[in-house]
Amino acid sequence: MLVKICGIQTKEAAEAAVKNGTDLIGFVFADSKRKITAEKAATIAASIPNSVQKVGVFVNETVERMKETAELVGLDYIQLHGDETPDIAEQLPYKIIKAFAVDLENLSAIQAYPCDYYLLDSPKGKYRGGNGKTFNWELIDRLSLSRGKIILAGGLRPDNVDEAIQLAKPAGVDVSSGVETNGVKDMEKIKQFIKQAKLTKKG
């Protein structure tokens, strides 16, 4: 089970995620309470081993800016979390994670997008993603997507990630607010989330 810890803003949080076995670290470069500058992300990224993949989260950013940021930080993946069209993804020389809010109206738009992973998230609140709310995981059964390309997000926490994995059978899980206390990454919650996700067998 792939685990992505997103919204990393400090070296300490990155180290806790790496030490406990995360597969991907996410930096948010879009408007969010977890936004980080490319320069600060590059400093943190320098301490992350190559075995852990670095993901940059962008919302409706220009291709040029995404490429510049990716090069500076040393990103492995670009996560498109806005209304980016397929041709935007095709212009980026990086692996792509495309985020989709899962609701009944949106199901048909998800299928044909050119990406390495589909990140299925709850419908957006104030910001795209990071709202700490789950969606109806059973809706995934209506998508003709390979489970091997699905990363599940939205309201996951150490105490519900096992149920989510058993129901949705994704390739990976993504967490941000679910491993925070008072809006700050909590080292113990990071540890518990990764441990629980790695232990859980798909249903």
Catalytic residue among 23, 115, 121, 174: 121
Q: Which of 6, 23, 115, 174 is catalytic?
A: 6
Closest CA to 181 of 152, 151, 157: 157
Burial class (CB in 10 A: 0-12, 13-18, 19+), 69: buried
Q: For this structure, is 121 an active site residue?
A: yes
Consecutive H or E run containing 63: helix 63-73
Using CA atoms, how far apart are residues 84 and 111, in angstroms rounded to an integer? 15
- Cα–Cα distances in angstroms (integers) from residue 122 to residues 1, 55, 104, in the given order: 20, 19, 12
Decide if 115 is catalytic.
no
State the amino acid at position 135 in one-letter form.
F
Q: Which DSSP string do the residues of 188-199 spell out, in sequence order?
A: HHHHHHHHHHHH
Q: Is 86 helix (H, G, I), strand (E, B) or coil?
A: helix
By annotation, the residues acting in catalysis are: 6, 121
